[in-house]
Chains A and B, each alone.
Chain A
Amino acid sequence: MGDKEIIRVEKLTVRYGDDTILSDISFSVRQKEIFIIVGGSGSGKTSLMRHMVGLETPAAGRVYIGGQEISASGPEMATEPLRRIGVLFQGSALLGSMTVAENVALPIEGFSGLESDAVASMVNIKLTLVGLECYGAYLPSEISGGMKKRAGLARAMALNPDILFLDEPSAGLDPVTASEIDNLILHINKTLETTIIIVTHDLDSIFALGQKAIMLDKESKGIIAEGSPAHMRDHNPDPAVRRFFSRKPA
């Protein structure tokens, strides 16, 4: 695990209209680590991720990626820090009119400077990495949910970003496919040394992947636990944390 800090969130407040979702939260992520944002439904996990990738402008506070502020001007911000990140959205967000291969080729053609035949080789490598080498010619509507996640992952890492944001990568998948996705994430983290930030509430994935995690809470609108998932489960005295990990309702 690297020591260098790659993401810093400082006193971030997330608000939609009059509803405050997160208030004054701060944390940092280190290079090459797998960092997990956990919490119940409606605790603000996805909102936090959207703020971290610059899709939303914070009500207060700042987000820095590699020392550069990403939260300064919302989606219209400078593209430089955005080139360093890749995002897998919850629904994969593949473009339906393009084949799987064309979806992966899109950022490579746009930003890598490679010629078209080299782009094709690169797309093949990316699809092989996620196990979809035989599905390049399929449309997103013709493949399963797990394959869509894999294709979305291949597109997210098309330009070898320093940081990958994955929103619920195993949601809606059967246990075997979810476990395959978890293994793939570990493989990418190890092979390409990518920092990976995962938003999830899937306990199996949390323990399979997480080196460090924070837990968000709807009531306190902030972080109620921080550390390794196993430590949070076994030693955290907060009843909300215990309930989450033991799957017991209040």
Chain B
Amino acid sequence: MMNHDPDSKTACFDIREDENGSLAFFFRGRLDISTAPQCLSRLSSLVKSRKPPKLLIIDLGDVTRMDDYGAMVILRLIQGLSPGPDGFRLENAGENHGRILSLVDFGQPECSVPSRVQDNIIVQLGESTIKSLKGALFFIEFIGAMVFACARAIKSPGSFRVNDTIRHMQNTGVHALPVVGLISFLLGLIMAFMSSLQLSQFGANLYVASLVGLAMVSELGPIMTAIIVAGRSGSAYAAEISSMKISEEVDALYVMGFDPNLFLVLPRMIAAMVVVPLLTVFSCIFAVAGGLAIGVFFLDLSIGAYIAQTIESLTIFELCWGLSKSLIFAILIALTGCLRGFQARGGADSVGNAATSAVVTSIFLIILFDSVFAVIRSYW
């Protein structure tokens, strides 16, 4: 019995079924990448409605062009029908089609595109614990190596890379000036405005200057600057070093006899230690300027009175306290950025992970150390 498909203009096969249980498919025309999706969708509805035949015959005599997509159609047909004891037979394939068919193992089971399988939650938890412990060990090792690198740089100052340090100072410090200035100015503006709403009720407008000055110098100036530097430069340190690690540049330094910590980390750390306190001073000046703008334009204070009040409220201790904090934050940012860079493994995605992780860890450590500073100060 010959079943002509009703949609014969677009159909790429005919079907014939014998009484003895064999099923024959007669493919014709192109059986390649251009017809495979259409053939497969027609076959899938046919396959679902049929019982497995005893023998499956696939005739390719009228196929004019065939590629491996065509061979895949035949594979899917065989897999879908799962022919019985007599199996399947490919007929009239010819030399050209035979060559294509030889690319396919028709006995293979159905498969899916393998992707990275997520382990169950217990395994994931265990793995992250081990990873964290290894990370802590690596951190201790890294700090030790940095101490040795510093000692080596002091012993032979020629080994310290001055030009790199200046370049990093420029990138970390000079290039950050506009963003630090703008954010600090706006912060000062907001603080002054919000505090004036309360203080003006008591006729204490002048104390807006004290509030902005003290808050910025002892607390917000160092923290805001450190967060901006962590986002800008901490992530850049991690990205630079991780891409160097992946492209074996760090290994190259090591085998040439250079200490990667001395070569890569120390210039970045010294640069950050120099520029972050300076940026903090810059940030405080701009925040005071922001507060001054509110004081002068909205609170009828004179410029002289505002500045005098700011200076009066600040002490040398406050200034030194703020700068010491920013120095510690600078060390944390540089070390965290470089550490995350050295921990990178794998491909391009690990560079992104290193940068993200550097920023998150830096900000966490900045807040943590700021809390420690607050506790120390309360017992001072």
Binds B, one of A56-64, A97-105, A201-209, A218-226: A97-105
Interface residues of B (CB under 8 A from A): 32-33, 36-37, 40-41, 44, 67-69, 71-72, 75-76, 79, 99-100, 103-105, 108, 110-116, 345-350
Contact, CB under 8 Å: B112 / A192:
no
- Tell which of A12-20, A24-32, A71-79, A132-140 binds the partner: A132-140
Find out whether the CB atom of B116 lies under 8 angstroms from the CB atom of A139: yes
Given contacts A96-B347, A114-B40, A191-B103, contact A123 B68 (CB under 8 A): no
A123–B349 CB distance below 8 A: no
By the criterion CB–CB under 8 Å, are B114 and A99 in contact?
A: yes
- Docked Cα-Cα span, A38 to B103, in Å, equals 31
Nearest to A159 among chain B residues (CB) is B33
- Given the complex of chains A and B, what is the CA–CA distance between A115 and B47 in angstroms? 15
Contacts of A160 in B (CB 8 A): 32-33, 67-69
User: Are A141 and B346 also in contact (CB < 8 A) when A99-B114, A121-B72 are?
Assistant: yes
- Nearest chain B CB to A152's CB is how many angstroms away? 14
5 contacts between A and B (CB under 8 A): A99-B116, A101-B114, A119-B113, A124-B111, A141-B346
Interface residues of A in 63-106 (CB under 8 A from B): 96-99, 101-102, 105
A105 contacts B103, CB within 8 Å? Answer: no
Interface presence of A177 (CB below 8 A): no
Docked Cα-Cα span, A114 to B32, in Å, equals 12
A124, B36: Cα distance in complex, Å = 16
Chain A CB within 10 Å, residue with most, of B67, B111, B345: B111
Cβ contact of A129, chosen from B79, B103, B349, cutoff 8 A: B103
Number of A-B contacts (CB under 8 A): 96
Instruction: For chain A, residues 117 to 169, give those with C-beta under 8 angstroms from any C-beta of chain B.
Output: 117-126, 128-129, 136-137, 139-141, 159-160
B-facing mask of A167-207, CB < 8 A → 1, else 0?
Answer: 00000000000000000000000111000000000000000
Bound: A192/B103 CA distance, A: 10
In the complex, which residues of chain B have a beta carbon less than 8 angstroms from the beta carbon of A141?
345-347
Query: Could you say which of B111, B346, B347 contacts A121, with CB atoms under 8 Å apart?
Result: B111
Residues of chain B within 8 A of A128, CB atoms compared: 103-105
> In this assembly, does A246 line the interface, its C-beta being within 8 Å of a C-beta of chain B?
no
Residues from chain A with a CB closer than 8 A to the CB of B75 are 121, 125
Query: Which residues from A are CB-within-8-Å of B37?
Result: 112-115, 118
- Contact residues of A: prevailing secondary structure: helix
CB of A115 within 8 A of CB of B40, answer: yes
Q: Tell me the smallest distance from the CB of B150 to a CB of chain A, in Å.
A: 33
Q: Is the CB of A125 within 8 A of B103?
A: yes
> A164 CB to closest chain B CB, in angstroms?
14
By Cβ-Cβ distance, the 7 closest A-B pairs, closest first, are: A96-B347, A137-B114, A113-B37, A97-B349, A141-B346, A136-B114, A105-B113
User: Which residue of the partner chain B has the closest CB to A194?
Assistant: B67
Task: Give CA–CA (A106, B63) in the complex, Å.
Answer: 28
Complex CA–CA separation, A191 to B71 (angstroms): 12
Q: Give Cα A141–Cα B75 distance, bound, in whole angstroms.
A: 31
Task: Report the minimum CB–CB distance from A102 to chain B (whole Å).
Answer: 6
Question: A99 near B115 (CB under 8 angstroms)?
Answer: yes
Across-interface contacts of A123 in B (CB, < 8 A): 113
* Interchain CB contact under 8 A, A122 and B111: no
B68 near A192: Cβ-Cβ < 8 Å? yes
Q: Which residues of B contact A136 (CB under 8 A)?
A: 113-114
**Minimum CB–CB distance for A47 against chain B, Å:** 22
| A136-B113, A139-B116 known; A124-B346 Cβ under 8 A | no
A104 CB, nearest partner CB in chain B, Å: 8
Min CB–CB distance B45 → chain A (angstroms): 12
In the assembled complex, how far is the CB of residue A14 from the closest CB belonging to chain B, in whole angstroms? Answer: 27
Within the complex, the shortest CB–CB distance from B66 to chain A, in Å, comes to: 10
Q: CA A114 – CA B346 in complex, angstroms?
A: 32
A121 to B108, CA, bound (A): 9
The answer to whether B347 touches A125, judged by C-beta atoms less than 8 angstroms apart, is no
Q: What separation, in Å, do the CA atoms of A105 and B112 have in the docked complex?
A: 10
In the bound complex, do residue A191 and residue B99 qualify as a contact, i.e. CB atoms below 8 Å apart?
A: yes
- Cβ contact within 8 Å between B33 and A118: no
Inter-subunit contact B116/A125 (CB<8 Å):
no
| Complex CA distance for A64 and B351, rounded to whole angstroms | 39
Alpha-carbon separation in the docked complex, A125 to B112 (Å)? 12
Cβ distance A113 to chain B, nearest Cβ, rounded Å: 4
CB-based nearest A residue for B108: A124
Residues of B within 8 A of A101 (CB): 113-115
Specify which chain B residues have a CB less than 8 angstroms from the CB of A105 in the assembled complex: 113
- Assuming the A-B contacts A115-B40, A129-B103, are A192 and B67 also in contact, with contact meaning beta carbons closer than 8 angstroms in the complex? yes
A3 to chain B, nearest CB (A): 18
Q: Which residue of A lies closest to B111 (CB)?
A: A120
Chain B residue nearest to A138 in the complex (CB): B114
CB distance from A183 to the nearest CB of B (A): 15
Q: Which residues of B are found within 8 Å of A137, using beta-carbon distances?
A: 114-116
Give complex CA distance A105, B113 in Å.
7
Task: Note all chain B residues with C-beta closer than 8 A to A124.
Answer: 108, 111
Residues A129 and B68 in contact, CB atoms below 8 Å apart: yes
Give the residues in chain A near B116, CB-CB below 8 Å: 99, 137, 139
Q: Give CA–CA (A101, B113) in the complex, Å.
A: 6
Known pairs A102-B114, A117-B112, A139-B347; list 16 more (Cβ under 8 Å).
A96-B349, A97-B347, A101-B114, A112-B37, A114-B36, A114-B37, A115-B41, A115-B44, A118-B36, A118-B40, A118-B76, A120-B113, A121-B76, A125-B72, A136-B114, A190-B99
CB distance from B249 to the nearest CB of A (A): 16
Query: A102 near B76 (CB under 8 angstroms)?
Result: no
A85 to B375: give the CA distance in the assembly, Å.
Answer: 66
